[in-house]
Amino acid sequence: MSNSLLNAKKAKNDEFYTQLPDIENELKHYKEHFKNKVVFCNCDDPFESNFFKYFAMNFNALGLKKLIATSYASSPIVGSELNNYIDSDTELLIQNKKAYKVIMSELKDTNGDGREDLFDVQELIKHRIRYLKGDGDFRSDESIELLKQADIVVTNPPFSLFREYVSLLMAHKKKFVIIGSQNAIAYKEIFPLIKNNQLWLGWKAGDMAFKVPHYYPPRDTRYWEDKKGQKWRSLGNICWFTNLDIAKHHEKLELYKKYNSEDYPKYFNYDGIDVDKVDSIPEDYDGVMGVPITFLDKFNPDQFEIIGMGSDVPKTLEHVAYKKENKIVYEKDGEIYWQTEYSVQERKLGNSLRIEKKGLPDKAPFNRILIRRRK
């Protein structure tokens, strides 16, 4: 990894190592997609990554054609079971802190014990491990050449580089299953892909625990150290992103609520109603509805159309702050529709959706996704 990239990752503290059970629980829903495919784990040291371990151990069961994994030049964490098996030559390679790759095209029972296991994986990769010319950055020419060989990319990319990572996959028209923060949903590079049904959420969304490097500072919450001194973090806003077709993406969201004006207030500055919970979406309303971002975990493109992100869509009234004149106004066709005294809090609301109350702007809900039922 280049010094600048490594320093950036340390500064942002976004080096999180995914646990094998979390990988198994997600990827069990995609197994039919991997048959006779080339899988690339391009943010994954084969001696540390549980993504590599999952695919290597299940190489034959999944019917993979090939498995490729690449490491970074400076790996900040070591602890995979594979390290218990490496020989002195392989250990020397790792200690040299150079980036390397492993390419698997088969997995055989090398010791005749009647099964393919971790020992067989180690025996294979210690003969297949090769230095990379560069530092293993997923954006490098060397890594991109490997990406071109792949059918599906599966990994946990650096959170701070998530925009750039997804853009690279889309540019090369790759299928993928990757981990990211739910915050990424609102990114201007990500949300249009969701809106246009080019990317969607996988099966799991919510809490997930990760090993983190030794240099991570302790935290008051969602942080602990195990008996071996390994540091851990848990995050409550993690989800899987994919463009592989899965059954969940076509599950119908059952609606049972009926629309009424009291429970579903209108917006002051947009032609739509506010729905504060996903399970409260009315079954009989045909107009535009603002729903929480968690709706995307239930989104079925055959049932709903995504109009846009609430903070970004054009509003029926323009919010204008006149600090010198000490007022904030909502204008319509250049005419003042409503005004109030200037305040920093009111100014910060800006282009946010505002709920209407007695003809006036009331509270601004958390950012909404605007949707409409398909008829």
Average pLDDT score, the chain: 87
Q: Which of 6, 326, 330, 321 is nearest to 160 (CA)?
A: 6
Look at residue 2 in the predicted model and tell me its pLDDT: 47
Answer yes or no: do 86 and 56 share one domain.
yes
Answer yes or no: do 291 and 173 share one domain.
no
Answer yes or no: do 275 and 244 share one domain.
no
Domain assignment present for residue 322? The answer is no
Mean pLDDT to the nearest integer, 231-242 = 91
Domain assignment present for residue 346? The answer is no
| pLDDT score of 7 more than 60 | no
Look at residue 360 in the predicted model and tell me its pLDDT: 86
Answer yes or no: do 135 and 220 share one domain.
yes
Looking at the 3D structure of the chain, how many domains does it have? 2
Half-sphere exposure of 191 (CA within 13 A, CB side): 19
Look at residue 128 in the predicted model and tell me its pLDDT: 80
| pLDDT score of 248 more than 50 | yes
| pLDDT score of 96 more than 50 | yes
Answer yes or no: do 276 and 144 share one domain.
no
pLDDT tens digits, one per residue of 145-187: 999 999 999 999 988 899 999 999 999 999 999 999 999 999 9
Answer yes or no: do 197 and 232 share one domain.
yes
Domain assignment present for residue 230? The answer is yes
Answer yes or no: do 215 and 269 share one domain.
no
Answer yes or no: do 268 and 159 share one domain.
no
Most confident of 19-28, 89-98, 100-109, 115-124: 19-28
Answer yes or no: do 30 and 156 share one domain.
yes
The residue from 228, 249, 270 where one domain ends is 249
Angle CA(208)–CA(12)–CA(3) in degrees, nearest 5?
120
Of 14-18, 209-213, 358-362, least confident by mean pLDDT is 14-18
Angle of helix 20-27 relative to helix 50-57, nearest 10 degrees, comes to 50
Answer yes or no: do 195 and 64 share one domain.
yes
pLDDT tens digits, one per residue of 39-58: 999 998 888 889 999 999 99
Tell which wins on pLDDT, 41 or 75: 41
Answer yes or no: do 241 and 255 share one domain.
no
| pLDDT score of 85 more than 60 | no
Q: CA separation (Å) from 139 to 42, 99, 151, 157, 168?
A: 10, 14, 17, 12, 8
Mean pLDDT to the nearest integer, 48-69 = 93
| pLDDT score of 222 more than 70 | yes
Domain assignment present for residue 318? The answer is no
Domain of 117?
3-249
Say what percent of the chain tops pLDDT 90. Answer: 54
Domain assignment present for residue 361? The answer is no
CA 92: distance to chain centroid? 35
| pLDDT score of 264 more than 80 | yes
Other C-beta atoms closer than 10 Å to the C-beta of 24 total 13
Domain assignment present for residue 238? The answer is yes
Answer yes or no: do 74 and 158 share one domain.
yes
The residue from 249, 267, 292 where one domain ends is 249
The residue from 201, 219, 249 where one domain ends is 249
Look at residue 89 in the predicted model and tell me its pLDDT: 55
Tell which wins on pLDDT, 12 or 249: 249
Look at residue 1 in the predicted model and tell me its pLDDT: 44
**DSSP string computed for 276-316:** SSGGG-BTT--S-EEEEGGGGGG--TTTEEEEEETTTSPPS
Domain assignment present for residue 338? The answer is no
Domain assignment present for residue 357? The answer is no
